[in-house]
């Protein structure tokens, strides 16, 4: 039951290698004077402008060559907005597509994809199959109301489902705002919070993400066990120091 909101090229990477880079800044003129590809370091011409148009009717200004643009459905996108479209299911919601600079859907989708096999295995291992419990998960990233009126968060998750209703939920979420933290919830417990580990930047982030996922997996098992027993677990994971 392996699913990812990212395309084949992204799936070839190990989870710890993935990062959200955000929209590119545009390209310099290619040799001959034609606009260059917006992908960093690429000077190929013949670019096509990204087809992404957000809920405010703003269109991405980046253009990519045939090598660096991605096709989702019938449209062509820069890599960042291709990830966004895959994360939200490639369809416009009632409120329109996310803002052109909103990293939320792509970031939540990336972490969900990285954790998916681990969480499905963990939940399936504690499911009471004889009683009809089964693991379900959200196929796309969703925009949901947040704690403060007027605010929202992007979220995607897994749950133990029973015909009488959901019994235990695990979710990855990111709230509104540039400084919002990525949160991992198990039931009502917030067990992890960070975002810097998935934004492209320092060279040691791959090792730090691996440690984060390993520690999160161990903690998640403990929290889920406590939730099933009717208790609570107070530990949480934040930024994990660099490995080594």
Which pair of tokens denotes residue 76?
């062509």
Closest CA to 240 of 201, 194, 200: 194
Report residue 101 CA to chain centroid gap.
15
Confidence of residue 127 (pLDDT cuts 50, 70, 90): confident
How is the chain split into domains, by residue range?
A: 22-100, 104-228
Give the SS3 label for residue 80: helix
Q: Indicate the DSSP class of residue 35.
A: B
Burial 96-115 (b: 16+ CB within 10 A, else e): ebbebebbbbbbbbbbbbbb
Is residue 238 within 8 A of residue 194, CB to CB? The reply is yes
Q: Dump pLDDT digits (tens) for 6-50.
A: 222 222 333 434 455 555 554 444 444 456 788 877 877 767 889
Calpha distance 163→216 (Å, rounded): 29
Average pLDDT in the 194-209 region? 69
Q: Dump pLDDT digits (tens) for 55-81.
A: 899 999 888 898 888 999 889 999 889
Q: Dump pLDDT digits (tens) for 141-167.
A: 998 887 677 778 899 999 888 888 767
pTM listed for this prediction:
0.76
């Amino acid at each position: 039951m392996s699913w990812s909101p990212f395309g084949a090229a992204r799936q070839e990477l190990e989870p710890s290698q993935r990062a959200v880079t955000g929209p590119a800044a545009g390209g310099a003129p290619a040799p001959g004077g034609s606009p260059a590809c917006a992908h960093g370091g690429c000077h190929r011409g013949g670019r096509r402008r990204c087809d992404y148009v957000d809920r405010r009717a703003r269109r991405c200004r980046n253009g990519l060559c045939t090598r660096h643009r991605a096709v989702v459905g019938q449209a062509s996108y820069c890599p960042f907005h291709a990830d966004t479209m895959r994360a939200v299911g490639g369809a416009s919601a009632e409120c329109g597509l996310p803002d052109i600079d909103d990293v939320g859907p792509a970031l939540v989708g990336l972490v969900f994809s990285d954790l998916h096999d681990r969480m499905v295995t963990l939940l399936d291992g504690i499911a009471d199959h004889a009683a009809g419990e089964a693991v379900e998960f959200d196929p796309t990233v969703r925009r949901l109301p947040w704690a403060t009126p007027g605010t929202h968060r992007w979220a995607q998750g897994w749950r133990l489902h029973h015909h009488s209703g959901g019994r235990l939920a695990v979710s990855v979420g990111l709230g509104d705002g540039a400084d919002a933290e990525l949160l991992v919830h198990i039931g009502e417990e917030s067990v992890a919070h960070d975002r810097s580990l998935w934004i492209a930047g320092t060279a040691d982030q791959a090792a730090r993400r691996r440690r984060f996922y390993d520690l999160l997996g161990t903690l998640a098992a403990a929290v889920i066990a406590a939730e099933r027993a009717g208790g609570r677990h107070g530990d949480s994971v934040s930024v994990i120091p660099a490995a080594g």
